[in-house]
Amino acid sequence: MTMCGLGAGQTASFDAGTGRATIVPEPGCTLLGAAGVLLLLRRRRQHA
């Protein structure tokens, strides 16, 4: 099944048995997001 409206580097799969669609982001985007969250947590911990 083809999904429209996905961003660049994203793929999607659809499981007809459960009726769930799973969107998988590009690995680089996931890494960048995780690094940002870790930096925010570190910054919050240093100021507290």
Per-residue pLDDT of 1-48, as tens digits, reads 545 566 666 777 788 888 887 777 777 878 888 899 999 999 888 876
> The whole model's pTM is what?
0.47
Domain ranges of the chain: 11-47
- CA atoms of 35 and 42, how far apart (whole Å): 10
* Per-residue buried b or exposed e for 32-42, using 16+ beta carbons within 10 Å of the residue's own CB: eeeeeeeeeee
Predicted confidence at residue 37, as pLDDT, reads 92
- State the amino acid at position 26 in one-letter form: E
* 3-class secondary structure, 39: helix
Per-residue pLDDT at 13: 79
